[in-house]
Amino acid sequence: MSGCFEPQRVSVRDIPHWARESWQLLWRRPLGFLAASLVYHGLALTSQSIPWIALLLSVLLCYMLLLVVIAGAEAADHSRPLGAARIYAMLRRVVVSLSLLTTLFLCIFIVAAVITAMLFPGVPAGDQPAREPLAVLSWIEPGELSFMILYMGIIVTSTWFLAPLLALHELGLRDARALARRAFFKNDIVVLVASNVPFFTILGCALITNASVALSPFLVPLIAIYQYVAYRHVFLGRRQNAPQPAKDAVGETAFN
């Protein structure tokens, strides 16, 4: 099935256009995207203080919600509802693939954390002068920040096309991964820029201002919509959002 449609080459100059189209899609159904984002943040916060099995389940649910937002972006693009039945069918179809990905990513993170802890032994908190710009990252042991950035960069980049392919097509993990890899190798520089610039921008905002906390509920859906817009251009050859029907132009406020 991975040969059904072939990814095309795009340009770095398309990235600002993707950002504009993503912003417009976000405001077609802001309440639906905001609700999904709040659930995502709740799961992410809960996962920081629970045992490993529960952590695995929480991360899995976060990935599922990411795919729901991508499906919501596709529905908003075509001005059609995203009903509960469709969401359930999509999640049922991808749960095994997402479970495998979640387990793999957590294993990579554990190995990375262990190696980093060996290379950069932690310094007792009382021995460190307080550094206000890094207070938001105080839960990270010394030396782990660089490894976390590397890890997140790899994860964000590797799932850039994989998440939309799993959400919007009846593909197994193997076929979706093959298509995502083909799209990446055709557009490696574009994907590296498009996927990592937002990540480092958000990280930079978190280091220098608390405004990112207030904006964070909109950042998760915006990044997921951004992934959908990039996928749509590379795989479907369509740069523009579909026209919004006149009856919906006043403002759609939910997925349905």
pLDDT digits (tens, 9 = 90+) for 126-172: 444 444 433 433 444 444 455 555 656 666 777 889 999 999 999 98
18 within 8 A of 195, measured Cβ to Cβ: no
Question: Of residues 91 and 5, which shows the higher confidence score?
Answer: 91
Q: Where are the domains of the chain?
A: 12-122+132-241
What pLDDT digit, counting tens, does each position of 163-210 carry?
Answer: 999 999 999 899 999 999 899 999 989 998 888 877 777 666 666 666
Q: In this predicted structure, what is the pLDDT of residue 40? A: 78
78 pLDDT tier (thresholds 50, 70, 90): very high
The predicted model scores a pTM of 0.79
What pLDDT digit, counting tens, does each position of 27-60 carry?
Answer: 999 998 988 888 877 776 766 566 666 677 777 8
What pLDDT digit, counting tens, does each position of 92-128 carry?
Answer: 999 999 999 888 877 777 776 676 667 666 544 444 4
What is the percent of the chain where pLDDT is above 90? 36
Quote the CA–CA distance of 25 and 15 in Å, as a whole number: 15
Amino acid at 47: S
Quote the CA–CA distance of 182 and 199 in Å, as a whole number: 23
